[in-house]
Amino acid sequence: MSLSAMAGSRQKLSSVLGRAVSPWRAEGVSGRGLALGGSGGHLVRPRTGPSVVQTYSTATVSSTSPAEDHSQARPFSDIPSPPSVPFFGNLFHLWREGLLSKDKIKKNHILMFSNMFNQYGPIFRWKMLNVEMVCIKDPVAVQELFKKEGKYPARIDIKPWRRYREISGKATGVFLSDGKEWQKTRTIMARPMLRPKHVSTYVRNLDMVSSDMSERLRVLQARADGIEVPDISDELFKWALESICTILFNERMGYLQDNIPQNAQDFIQAMHTIFLTTNALLVPDADVHRFLRTKPWRQSMEAWDTVFRVGEQVMDRQLQEALEREERGEEDEDQPNFLAFISSTGRLSKDEIYSNTIELMGAAIDTTSTTLLWTLYELSRRPELQDRLHQEVTQVIGQDKVMTWDDLKDLHLLKAVIKESLRMYPVAPAISRVLQEDTVIMGYKLPAKTCVAAQVYAMGRDPHLFPDPDQFKPERWLRTGEAHDDINPYSSLPFGFGPRSCIGRRVAEVELQLFLAKMSQQFVVSQVEPEEVSSVAQPILMPETPLHLRFVDRK
């Protein structure tokens, strides 16, 4: 995933969102439901009627006409807010709470926002210098926000990433583009990334990647005297990169071998650096860091150089090989090549192809792998749940069988496990939209160009929305059983919603399902030493300390 000066308020808003929103939210098209792809009918389906809306707020979105809403709504200034001082806004609040250091921000800003919801209610204003953002965690208000996002939904700008594009002359991909340009690119990329007909063709190759990863886990642990798989997070990064490259290029890249190419290791490390420096560059503003040439600025720019250098080298080789295969008549239509497909449309320049493909490569490393890491952590603490997963996978798929798209449809408990992991540990703690018109939300008037952030993490940990929110309970997502919860679909949006939802959603779901099914067939995962692990925003939600996991072979 790679992810240019924007005018007006979007440019000004970028410095504050680092406390509330992950810098990566891939774009896509909205699906019929938010249940994981390929559901066989046993997972909770989203419902949109008012009879199923759960909300505890006293000021909900009005159902009357817009004119009546505005005539009865309270002014923007009445929205609750932490103590503020002229010009600096809530910076004083951060200073008073000791949260202005880089480490404090990434560790505590999620809890800070959750605490402010407890203090001020399900909507509050947050001001930093001359920028204001409205934070919400009421599902009804979130639904209204997406209803008002317009034909070309706009999100908060990630200024350091856009500044790199301006300086280097690189094209903007689907993540950073807006308006008609964004719509054109999203339409082209949606077909191979979101349509089930196309995604189903990736299963065979991804199943082989998962099989190879299972064998690698076995070998690595044996080398470590059976104690644990060393550097499990780094191994999952390699698995994620191998998986997405298999889809993008229809070719195995060899990233699960002992000695992976140096350029692959450079790419992985560069993406880590980009994520790790983003929060720092948003405080107080990316342009300040650029002017002073701070260390985070230099590190970020060098990392982007590496990402594009490596990505373009890989794609140049792949495009040349695709051309040669086409000339020899060796293209396999049953195994579509994403890169070849978007190139064949003739609607994207070479630079745009580079940017969009690099975005997908980068996204897979830290996002899919981090979700898998959190899921393995929770499973390692619940052997009885692993036994139930093993039973389901064995019953649906059997042993030593290549999994198919149809097999995945019947793995209901496994999908519920993934949904529960995403509820507790969403990759992006929040989702932002910049209002296209004056809007009334929760009884307050919000003018056009206001940035509104739906706090996904806070909703997922809210006891009014999810009973026992700090308990890992996959059963809440199943339609049957005593533990089933009546869940409002807008209370858990790990992939976003609407036209700018995650374009890699279906692919990520399939990758996670295949890996966890394979793992459940072959291993019992456990912690080397039982421990509670906290999360930090870097800016995606990561474990604060390394995980030490052991994979015990069921055979």
198-207 CB burial, b ≥16 within 10 A, e <16: bbbbbbebbb
Q: Is 245 annotated as a binding residue?
A: no
Q: How far apart are CA 461 and CA 143, in angstroms?
A: 18
Cβ(28)–Cβ(504) under 8 Å? Answer: yes
Residue 364 DSSP class = I
Calpha distance 283→269 (Å, rounded): 23
Beta bridge partners of 101: none
Round to whole Å and give the CA distance between 27 and 193: 11
**DSSP β-ladder status, 451-454 and 439-441:** unpaired
CA distance 428 to 391: 32
d(CA 354, CA 171): 8
Distances, alpha carbon 412 to alpha carbons 98, 415, 490, in Å: 44, 5, 21
φ, ψ at 423 (rounded to 5°): -65, -45
The amino acid that residue 363 corresponds to is A
Residue 111 to residue 410: CA distance in whole angstroms: 37
Picking from 516, 479, 524, the residue whose alpha carbon sits closest to that of residue 382 is: 524
Instruction: Bin 265: left if φ > 0, else alpha if -120 < ψ < 50, else beta.
Output: alpha
CA distance 475 to 463: 16
Going by the annotation, the residues of the binding site for heme are: 502
Going by the annotation, the residues of the binding site are: 502
